[in-house]
Structure 1
């Protein structure tokens, strides 16, 4: 029989590292992140004459006279007070200019904000609220499917290219960089970019490589030309690699239980055609619940999210085992993609049913 593991339902915040390391790790509400920090130092509360009555309440009722002479009161050592770390969620890789200045025993945090330029109102000025144009643009040769394209994103600028797709189908679209880049893919002549998540997340980074903040996910592309734009979140210059390659997927019909096989340490990508906006309920049930532990990863409105166990409560109302995943995936008309894998890398079969609500 498998070892029973608790279902984590904590609010986002800092918690003891589940890997057993003497530190705290940030839980974002869905999964453990890569953010860690040491336990906070112990601080000792200050006690003395001004806190005597609070520390020793019986002194207030004592009838002491000067002739009584000195009276000995047993001393005690206050328990150490553990100061917890801040529960503020970590930001992106670079969060601005924060200088820590220590002096006179006090910690001073100085945030320097420099505003450059001003909004004009005369002729020739950009309208209020308009997106500023990048100061520089780098253009590289057109990107071919299944061929890595490399280029430089200039500081405070963007890298541009085009992508030519000759066959309709599912594709994996990724960008990799040492910095925090954003990739947009827009049909030529259009204004609305395709829904490509900004970050691939830790689960997909384990399978695709790169880091959690590199963009990348699965899209259904039709034959045609696409405009490709890469920018850096903090306007830094960086090298970037872009790759668009055909993806092997299992297409699932709505409302029909379908067996999906997962290989050792390899995820299986399923796609679902959707003709209306709504929420997909993806129910994956292991053929052998004692040996398998499924996990579903999907795009939840631009944020890569993973779901592991449905827990005993939902299992009692929806069926399936408590370790079987059950995901609610927000969708728009088109194709929805969900990544199915075994949490511990085991091979096996899952019965997957998808319904649209």
Structure 2
């Protein structure tokens, strides 16, 4: 390096930097390597960057801006190149120049086929797509399952017993229910096919709904049936009523309907002892004189694990299993706001065992 003039040179130590040579020896002065000047490519370098395009005998060759038409290729095995039509603001149209190239011809054929297909499709729709027998697209989804014309099957409802019936596809089953005394009734409908979705409604002589249910849900399926089966409680006076059963999706559905009079009654502030049958439930009704917060206290007397369900006059359903699971207190307790009127109280045993309980309902 003794023949080199003083200045910055690449560091001989191999670092990514320059080091100052004072003419005799390396110093401790450093500077980063000077960045390379970036290469710029664009229209001005197009010819150098793509030399093969400049020699291609093709009418669609790329040319640098400002190239005059006289320098465009004038001959090709594909025929003469199409020349620009009119000024810069003139609307472009397909001309013989376009059709004279394979790409242009393909575009014309494609557009022609598209127009033909569109015309044929519209014609088919006009002939077939508006058939009067087609369902109204605004009428909602069609029903599933076998259809039987939407007729109504009729029958009589057995009180404190079981009634069999058949809902016709798209129709209803209507049963006559005759009540001889004022009380609350449990109506438990179960489809013969557990995949069907029954709906249940109880109506007075004028057709007004007095109560009903669609799905009993997971909690009440512990009382039997599946979650899609309806379970309803209605308080009725002596008279004649209609029980209407339908299938949510309009399918044919055989079913079993159990109607049970709830005869056991609870008194406010009075503890009542009750027996819960094995695999079953205890049902009772307590009359709440006014809306407010009430407490339903269930205490097991045989070391089992009871569960509590309630339905108030507004049809609101509540459930409680353990009042304090962490403290091993498995007796249920509900302290809730209930509507005035009959409150249905149901007690089961969590594992389906028979047990005995004490029930106390207190109010405001």
State the TM bucket, normalised to the shorter chain. Answer: 0.5 to 0.7
Aligned to 1:307: 320
Task: Tell me, in whole angstroms, the C-alpha distance in 2 between the residues paired with 1:333 and 1:211.
Answer: 30
Aligned to 2:209: 192
Indicate if the aligned counterparts of 2:202 and 2:241 stay in contact, CA closer than 8 A. Answer: yes
Aligned to 1:215: 230
Task: Tell me, in whole angstroms, the C-alpha distance in 2 between the residues paired with 1:329 and 1:225.
Answer: 34
Aligned to 1:285: 299
RMSD of Structure 2 on Structure 1 (CA)? 3.5
Indicate yes or no: 2:132 matched with 1:116.
no
Structure 2 unmatched ranges of 5 or more:
1-13, 17-134, 141-148
Pair 1:350–1:212, CA change in 2 (3 A): same
Task: Tell me, in whole angstroms, the C-alpha distance in 1 between the residues paired with 2:356 and 2:239.
Answer: 36
Aligned to 1:339: 346
What TM-score, normalized by structure 1, do the two folds share?
0.52
What TM-score, normalized by structure 2, do the two folds share?
0.52
Aligned residue among 227, 230, 241 for 2:242: 227
Aligned to 2:329: 322
Indicate if the aligned counterparts of 1:198 and 1:303 stay in contact, CA closer than 8 A. Answer: no
Pair 1:312–1:193, CA change in 2 (3 A): same
Pair 1:287–1:176, CA change in 2 (3 A): closer
Aligned residue among 287, 294, 298 for 2:306: 294
Aligned residue among 198, 221, 226 for 1:181: 198
Structure 1 unmatched ranges of 5 or more:
1-62, 66-113, 120-134, 316-320
Indicate if the aligned counterparts of 1:197 and 1:304 stay in contact, CA closer than 8 A. Answer: no
Indicate if the aligned counterparts of 1:197 and 1:299 stay in contact, CA closer than 8 A. Answer: no
1:195-224 Cα offsets, whole Å, 9 max, x none, are x333234454444x4222211244333211
Pair 1:266–1:160, CA change in 2 (3 A): closer
Indicate if the aligned counterparts of 1:152 and 1:239 stay in contact, CA closer than 8 A. Answer: yes
Aligned to 1:143: 157
Task: Tell me, in whole angstroms, the C-alpha distance in 1 between the residues paired with 2:354 and 2:165.
Answer: 39
Task: Tell me, in whole angstroms, the C-alpha distance in 2 between the residues paired with 1:240 and 1:115.
Answer: 31
1:37-86 Cα offsets, whole Å, 9 max, x none, are xxxxxxxxxxxxxxxxxxxxxxxxxx998xxxxxxxxxxxxxxxxxxxxx
Task: Tell me, in whole angstroms, the C-alpha distance in 2 between the residues paired with 1:147 and 1:312.
Answer: 38
Aligned to 1:240: 255
Following TM superposition, by how much is the alpha carbon of 1:145 offset from its aligned partner in structure 2, in angstroms?
1.9
Aligned to 1:157: 171
Following TM superposition, by how much is the alpha carbon of 1:188 offset from its aligned partner in structure 2, in angstroms?
1.6
Indicate if the aligned counterparts of 1:201 and 1:304 stay in contact, CA closer than 8 A. Answer: no
**Larger CA Rg, structure 1 vs 2:** 2
1:121-174 Cα offsets, whole Å, 9 max, x none, are xxxxxxxxxxxxxx8331313323245333332333322232111223343212
Following TM superposition, by how much is the alpha carbon of 1:305 offset from its aligned partner in structure 2, in angstroms?
4.4
Indicate if the aligned counterparts of 1:171 and 1:220 stay in contact, CA closer than 8 A. Answer: yes
Aligned to 1:350: 357
Task: Tell me, in whole angstroms, the C-alpha distance in 1 between the residues paired with 2:159 and 2:355.
Answer: 32
Following TM superposition, by how much is the alpha carbon of 1:257 offset from its aligned partner in structure 2, in angstroms?
2.8
Task: Tell me, in whole angstroms, the C-alpha distance in 1 between the residues paired with 2:139 and 2:357.
Answer: 58
Total equivalences in the alignment: 222
Task: Tell me, in whole angstroms, the C-alpha distance in 1 between the residues paired with 2:248 and 2:181.
Answer: 32
Task: Tell me, in whole angstroms, the C-alpha distance in 2 between the residues paired with 1:332 and 1:256.
Answer: 20
